[in-house]
């Protein structure tokens, strides 16, 4: 007798929405900006802060659109 094999559709296990990635990246860039600022790398700190700011703005806009629609 052959064992029963179960077929799992992995596409249904992957969520269509993945939350927290933008906010996590924004926090990572913010930490990088603070560390670079302490180390004296002003260019890296400014760029990291700018990226973190835009990621937070994008997160807030998408969150508002999600709640409204």
pLDDT digits (tens, 9 = 90+) for 7-36: 555 555 555 455 557 788 888 888 999 999
Largest CA distance in the chain: 70
- 1: tokens are 């007798």
- 34: tokens are 């603070």
Interatomic CA distance for residues 47 and 53, integer angstroms: 10
The answer to whether residue 1 scores a pLDDT higher than 90 is no
Q: Please give the average per-residue pLDDT across 48-56, as a whole number.
A: 91
Q: What is the pTM of this model?
A: 0.64
Average confidence score pLDDT of the chain: 79
Q: Please give the average per-residue pLDDT across 59-64, as a whole number.
A: 86
């Amino acid at each position: 007798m052959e064992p029963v094999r179960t077929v799992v559709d992995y596409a249904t296990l992957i969520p269509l929405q993945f939350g927290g990635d933008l906010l996590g990246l924004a926090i990572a860039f913010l930490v990088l900006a603070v560390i670079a600022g302490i180390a004296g790398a002003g260019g890296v700190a400014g760029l990291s802060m700018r990226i973190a700011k835009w990621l937070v703005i994008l997160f807030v806009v998408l969150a508002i659109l999600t709640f409204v629609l």
